[in-house]
Amino acid sequence: MALYSCKLGALDGKIIFRDIEAADGVDLRKNLEDQGFFVFEVKKKLFQFLFDKGLTRRKIDNRALLTFNQEMLVLIKAGMPIMQVLDAIMERHDSGALYEILIQVRDDVKAGAALSVAMGKHGRAFPHLYVASIRAGERTGDLPQTIRRYIEYLKRAGTLRKKIISSLFYPSILVVVAFLAITLLLVYVVPTFSQVYTDSGSQLPALTRLLIAVTSFLRHYFILGIVVTIGLLAVFRSWKSSEAGRYAFDRFKLTVPIAGDVFTKYSVAGFTRTLATVLGSGIPIIEALRMSIGTLDNVFMEKRLFEAVRFVEEGGLLSVALERIHFMPPLALRMLGVGETTGALEDMLVDISNYLEDELEERMHLLTTFIEPAIMLIMGVVIGVIIIAMYLPIFKLGGTIG
């Protein structure tokens, strides 16, 4: 038996986190769905992977999944049966996690199972959203179009993620360099000067004495500081993993100046693109909304969105429901309302996602443009103060001699 961390959606709209023991994650997911829960995530707890050597722990990254879908789309459009499609893909990937998973998928399909059912047994490899899209494509008889939509979804999501990472890359380097430079000064340079001044026995300026005291404190309590920091991080992670802590932290993230707007736009852009992809696959609006909620990765926003889903279940418009919970910018809400009125909801959701991603990219550009000089300024001030504090006694001595 292994311990699984489960993220569930209850019928009353609550997001529930539970740790459940089970022999297999796929069976656990099915049992939870049979109990009426909407399963967002079933993940094995830390260190359990040391005892699990089966295929269920294998995971395919987004790039491999994108390549797999592109190959499958070309072969299906060429008129090849699904068994031959799997065989052809396995010939190209004759080793690795994908190959071993496809062996199991092929055996299940050969035994008469639907492709979506066979893939659904490998929840770590194929996301729930992807399996549901394949199932909808099988139901509507338009599997190539479903795969094409998912490919576009993966490309757009990957592009947005890369842009955000690249925006934060240079500021991260600056922070690391600044930290190393200041640490070098405090650990090596300042103690060297301190010893010289101590041996001279001269009266030191107040700023120099303060810096020496800070450096001495850091050197004496460095190990203790690391232990305390690790302890505080452990307590914080434990609190954040709890239901109340996760909710409070996710809510706090959205209130941080500037960064909160980035978090919100990123989550909403991902949600609208996911919803457009799922709706385009032929999945009903309520089921599509519940499936897309998990992509927000924010408990506070998920809980609010469940309120909107209940409103839609009662016959309300999606645009009205999202306006009630202040989920989207006014312009995006008007676009959504137009899409519902004209019957072009899927296309309008894609437009909304593009609009939010453009806004997010512009905001990230402004944010990094502001952060880079701010880091340089702070680093320059701190290093300047350290240098001045170390050289003040020399200046004082020179003035006395003059």
Alpha helix (H) residue ranges in 10-142: 25-34, 62-77, 82-92, 97-110, 115-120, 128-140
Contacts of 381 (CB under 8 A, 6+ apart): none
Distance CA(33)–CA(31), nearest Å, equals 5
Give the CATH number of domain 154-402; options: 1.10.10.60, 3.40.190.10, 1.20.81.30, 1.25.10.10.
1.20.81.30
Q: What is the pLDDT of residue 2?
A: 66
Q: What is the pLDDT of residue 299?
A: 85
Secondary structure of 320-374 as H, E, C letters = HHHHHCCCCCHHHHHHHHHHHHHCCHHHHHHHHHHHHHHHHHHHHHHHHHHHHHH
Concatenate the DSSP letters of all residues of 111-158 into one string: TT--HHHHHHT-TTTS-HHHHHHHHHHHHHT-HHHHHHHHHHHHHHHH
**What 3-state DSSP class applies to 78?**
coil
Residue type, 193: F
Cα dist. 258→357, 360, 363, 368 in Å?
Answer: 16, 11, 8, 11
Domain ranges of the chain: 2-53, 62-126, 154-402
Q: What is the pLDDT of residue 65?
A: 85
Its pTM stands at 0.66
Place of tokens 């089966």: 54
Cα dist. 296→205, 250, 293, 304, 345 in Å?
Answer: 55, 11, 6, 11, 20
* pLDDT tens across the length of the chain (402 residues): 567 788 888 776 777 777 776 667 777 887 788 777 888 888 876 555 444 444 444 567 778 888 888 999 999 888 888 899 888 888 887 667 778 888 888 888 888 888 888 888 887 778 777 887 788 788 777 788 888 888 888 888 788 788 878 877 888 888 888 888 888 888 777 787 777 777 666 677 888 888 888 888 877 887 888 899 999 999 998 888 888 888 899 899 888 887 788 888 888 888 888 888 888 877 888 888 887 887 777 888 888 888 888 899 888 889 999 888 888 888 888 999 998 888 888 889 989 988 888 888 888 888 778 888 888 888 888 888 888 888 887 776 655 544
Question: Tokens in use for 263?
Answer: 């978090």
